[in-house]
Amino acid sequence: MSAAPAVSPPIAGPRLRIGGRSIPLVLPKLGDPRLKLSATIITLTILGQTILNFQVSLPQILVCVLLCAAIDVVMTYRSAKVLVWPASGIQTGISVAFIFRVGGTRHGDFWSMRGLHIFVLVVLLSMVPKYVLRRNGRHVFNPSNVGLAWGLLLIGPSHVFSEHLWWKPLGPAVLFSMAVIFGGGWWVLRQVKMLPMAATFLAAFFVFIAALAVTGHTYWATWHEGKVGGSFYWLTIAMSPELLIFVFFMISDPQTSPKSQMGRNIYAAVTAAVAAGLIGLQNTEFGIKVAILSSLLVSCALVPLFDKAVRRVEDRRAGAEVEPWLSGPVGRQLAIAVRKPVVVAITVIAVAGFINTALLAGNDQIPLIERNLTGRSVQ
C-alpha cells in the first residue's frame, strides 16, 4: 500500500533551511494509514528476526527502507519542491524486505551483507514503475508487488525466493503473528474502507484453493517432508500469513485499486481467480508464491476495465446512456494504444508476469530446490 506523492506546498508549517532556501516540510500525520501499516509490518519484522526465524539481515532491511525512502524524497521534491516524509517509500521498502529473500542468508546472520545488490535491484524494480508507469496521475502497480514479482521471475529460483508460506508449525509464535496480521489488517483496512474488498478476495480464494485441494493438487516446500496436500494444502495457502499480508496490505492499495466499492469487489474476485488459476499449475512453493504476487499484476493492469464496467452498470441503473467499451473500432483503438509507451509497458508487465509465472510450472529445477536435492542450500 502506498500513496501517490501528489503534494501541494503547505503555506504554513515547518520549514527546512538549506543553503539559503527555505523548503517546506510535510511530516507524517498520526492518522495516516500508511503509518499503521508500517507499524504492523515492523512488528512482524521484529517477530521474524526474533521468533519466526526469518532469513533476512538488518543491512538487507535497511538498504530496502533507506533506498526506497531516498527515492521517494528526491522524486517528491523534484515534482513539488517540498520535503515530504516518505511514508510510502518506507512502506515499500519494509514490504520488500519483509517478503524478499536472497538464497543462502541464514536466520541469525543479523549483519550479513549477502545479496545487497539484489535487494537494490528489487527496490528499483519497485520504485521505477511507481514514478514512470502512471495512469491519470496514479501509479498503476503496487510498488512492492511489481518489484517482488518481477524480481523473483527475473533472478529466478536458483538465487532468490520469497518468505515461506508457512512460517513455523502452528504454535504460539505463529498464532501471535496471525493476531498481529489480522489486527493490523482490521486497523488499516477499516480506515481506507477496504474490508469488503479483502473479504471478497478471501471468500473467493478460499473456495478456489479448496477446489484445488480436493482435486488432489500438491506442492513441494523446503520446510515439509514430502508433498503438501489435502487439508494442509488448503491451510498453508489460504491461511498463509504471506497470503494474508498480500490481501491486507498489497491488493488494498487505494492508489492501484478501483475507485468504487463494486469495482474493488470485482478486482478482488478477479485477483483471487487469477491467483488460483496460476496456483493450480504449480507444484512448488516458489511457484505458488510467485503466482499470488503475479495475479495482482494482471488485475492492476485491468483496473480501468473494472472502473468502466462499474460505470456502465451505474449508467444502466440510472437510465443514462451507457458508455461503450471502446470509443471506436477495435483496430483503431489498438493502433492508438500501441503508440502509448505506458500502455505497452503495462501490458508487457501484466502479460509477461502471467506467462512467466505459468512457465514456472514446467521448470524441473524448482522441485529439486524445494526438496533440498541440489547439494547446496538455496532457501
Per CB under 8 A, 288 contacts other proteins: no
**Residue ranges in 307-336 that form contacts with other proteins under rule CB under 8 A:** 336
What is the bridge-based pairing of β-strands 15-18 and 83-84? unpaired
As measured in angstroms, the least distance from the Cβ of 312 to other proteins is 21
Closer to other proteins by CB, 191 or 363: give it.
363
Q: How far apart are CA 313 and CA 79, in angstroms?
A: 37
User: Hey, what amino acid is at 141?
Assistant: F
Which range in 79-87, 90-98, 193-201, 356-364 contacts other proteins by CB under 8 A?
Answer: 356-364
Query: Interhelix angle for 285-301 vs 303-318, to 10°?
Result: 50
As measured in angstroms, the least distance from the Cβ of 151 to other proteins is 9
Closer to other proteins by CB, 19 or 137: give it.
137
- When binding is defined by CB under 8 A, the residue of 59, 156, 196, 280 that contacts other proteins is 156
- When binding is defined by CB under 8 A, the residue of 54, 100, 141, 150 that contacts other proteins is 150
Which cell numbers in the block locate residue 353?
Answer: 508476469
Contact 182, 206 (CB under 8 A): no
Closer to other proteins by CB, 133 or 244: give it.
133
Which range in 54-62, 129-137, 262-270, 279-287 contacts other proteins by CB under 8 A?
Answer: 129-137
Dihedral angle, C-alpha 303, 305, 307, 311, nearest 10 °:
180
Closer to other proteins by CB, 216 or 362: give it.
362
Per CB under 8 A, 15 contacts other proteins: no
Distance between first and last Cα of the chain: 27
Closer to other proteins by CB, 15 or 159: give it.
159
**Residue ranges in 220-239 that form contacts with other proteins under rule CB under 8 A:** 225
Per CB under 8 A, 134 contacts other proteins: yes
Which range in 128-136, 181-189, 208-216, 243-251 contacts other proteins by CB under 8 A?
Answer: 128-136
Per CB under 8 A, 352 contacts other proteins: yes
Per CB under 8 A, 6 contacts other proteins: no
As measured in angstroms, the least distance from the Cβ of 225 to other proteins is 6
Contact 101, 162 (CB under 8 A): yes
Per CB under 8 A, 369 contacts other proteins: yes
Per CB under 8 A, 120 contacts other proteins: no
Neighbours of 358 (CB within 10 A): 16
SS (H, E, C) 145-162: HHHHHHHHHHHCCCCEEE
Residue tagged 485491468 (cell numbers) = 302
Q: 137: exposed, middle or buried (C-beta count within 10 Å: 0-12, 13-18, 19+)?
A: exposed
Closer to other proteins by CB, 58 or 345: give it.
345
Q: How far apart are CA 121 and CA 143, in angstroms?
A: 13
Contact 241, 181 (CB under 8 A): yes
- Residue 237's beta-bridge partner residues? none
Neighbours of 40 (CB within 10 A): 21
Per-residue mark of binding to other proteins, 196-225 (x: CB under 8 A): -----------------------------x
294-305 CB burial, b ≥16 within 10 A, e <16:
bbbbbbbbbbeb
- When binding is defined by CB under 8 A, the residue of 19, 20, 137, 319 that contacts other proteins is 137
Q: In this structure, what are the phi and psi dihedrals at residue 21, rounded to the nearest 5 degrees?
A: -105, 140
Per CB under 8 A, 365 contacts other proteins: yes
As measured in angstroms, the least distance from the Cβ of 363 to other proteins is 7
Per-residue mark of binding to other proteins, 89-108 (x: CB under 8 A): --------------x-----
Positions of E strands within 112-203: 134-135, 138-139, 160-162
Binding site for other proteins (CB under 8 A): 103, 132-137, 150, 153-159, 225, 336, 339-345, 348-349, 352, 355-356, 359, 363-365, 368-369, 371-376, 378
